[in-house]
Amino acid sequence: MTTYGSFPGTRPRRLRSNPVMRRMVAETRLHPADFILPAFVREGVSEPVPIGAMPGVVQHTRDSLKKAAAEAVAAGISGIMLFGVPEESKKDALGTPGTDPDGILQVALRDVRAEVGDDLLVMSDLCLDETTDHGHCGVLDAEGRVDNDATLERYAEMAQVQADAGAHVVGPSGMMDGQVGVVRDALDQIGREDVAILAYTAKYASAFYGPFREAVGSSLRGDRKTYQQDPANVRDSMRELALDLEEGADMVMVKPAGPYLDILARVADAVDVPVAAYQISGEYSMIEAAAERGWIDRDRAIMEALTGIRRAGARNILTYWATEAAQKLNRQ
């Protein structure tokens, strides 16, 4: 046999020869504790409402949300991120349901904490987009632009009511300048130094959010390009990262996950705090749609996508498959 460099003495395929060998030398492993389940709870419904663009995902009732939280605990995942969907008639320009102690998100936080206690990290989306009649993540000025500083005042109120309702972690996701510092101050003012902040540090103005808009009943007019990040940019994300850490972020996030694995890797290499990534609705829906048509192996595609996110540097992954993926891992 002709020798080519170190071949035939060196044969990398020896380490791929059977399932046990591949498992032993695997560099990246998924674990149920890696996962956080995003979940939607809708006000005024008596049965869970299927989300057409996200097969298998629903807008929960209060009761079905509690069941989903209990299933998450049983599967061993780490957290549940709650999004509240108020009745359309209650939305207004200021997003009043977001700071109403009896708003659907705050009610759901209390429900889930009563159901699972500290066995699951109860996380809350801290943003106004689900509660405003215009669908933007902040308060608008007289010219219809998102007013950064007026929005921060609303975020401070939201942080306090969400903490009072039982959130272990708040996730300011609106991409307002200064949001992490304002939220930290607001929490500390009411003696809630124990509540952690998961900063949406790199949140891009992505086309992949489409199905999420249905999930939260979005009233958005226009787009969010003036405050979410440009998909073309990397340095912008690193600047946001430095600012969020300076303002007191306990954890940082990259969103979306799959199309931005390079950003995720850069962030993970740069920090010593936990890094999360959000596998968003469009990523979920593409795999589900392709699998439904028989174009890909659904289960393999799910686990491969999650492994890729973990390999790129995510300590935790927000994914709509959180409970299902954890159950699969538990059976292995």
**Residues annotated as part of the active site:** 203, 255
Query: What φ, ψ does residue 175 adopt, rounded to 5°?
Result: 60, 40
Query: What φ, ψ does residue 203 adopt, rounded to 5°?
Result: -120, 115
For residue 23, count CB atoms less than 10 angstroms from its CB and return exposed for 0-12, middle for 13-18, buried for 19 or more: exposed
CB proximity list for 262: less than 8 A, separation 6 or greater = 234, 312
Beta pairing, strands 169-172 & 196-203: parallel
| C-alpha–C-alpha distance, residues 78 and 69, integer Å | 11
**Tokens matching residue 331:** 């059976």
What is the DSSP code string of 17-69? SSHHHHHHH-S----GGGEEEEEEEETT-SS-EE-TTSTT-EEE-HHHHHHHH
| C-alpha–C-alpha distance, residues 306 and 43, integer Å | 31
Query: What φ, ψ does residue 267 adopt, rounded to 5°?
Result: -65, -45
Helix or strand or coil: residue 180?
helix
Beta pairing, strands 49-50 & 58-60: antiparallel
Residue 76 is classified by DSSP as T
Q: Which residues pair with 124 in a beta bridge?
A: 82, 170
| C-alpha–C-alpha distance, residues 105 and 108, integer Å | 5
| C-alpha–C-alpha distance, residues 264 and 139, integer Å | 30
Place of tokens 């939260």: 216
**Tokens matching residue 294:** 């028989």
